[in-house]
Amino acid sequence: MGFTIGGIREMRSGARRRHRGTEGTAVAEYTGLWGWAVAPGARAEAGACSCGDPVCPSPGAHPLDFAQEVP
């Protein structure tokens, strides 16, 4: 009979995977259910906006230019 360090490992039942993975996943599910449009937004990095405009009037608080217009 062989010897293993730590003994025999049991297979996990997967019960831990029965909940939503992240808050982002939950938000994505609800926006789809409610029919809301989702657009990627700019973010503030080191005091500047990620949109690339050096004089952005609202850094990190607007959708990116390549996003579709939300009616």
Distance in angstroms between the alpha carbons of the first and the last residue of the chain:
70
The reported pLDDT for the residue numbered 5 is 60
* Mean pLDDT on 2-25: 61
Q: What pLDDT, in 10s, does the model give residues 21-45?
A: 788 888 888 888 998 887 788 888 8
pTM of this structure: 0.44
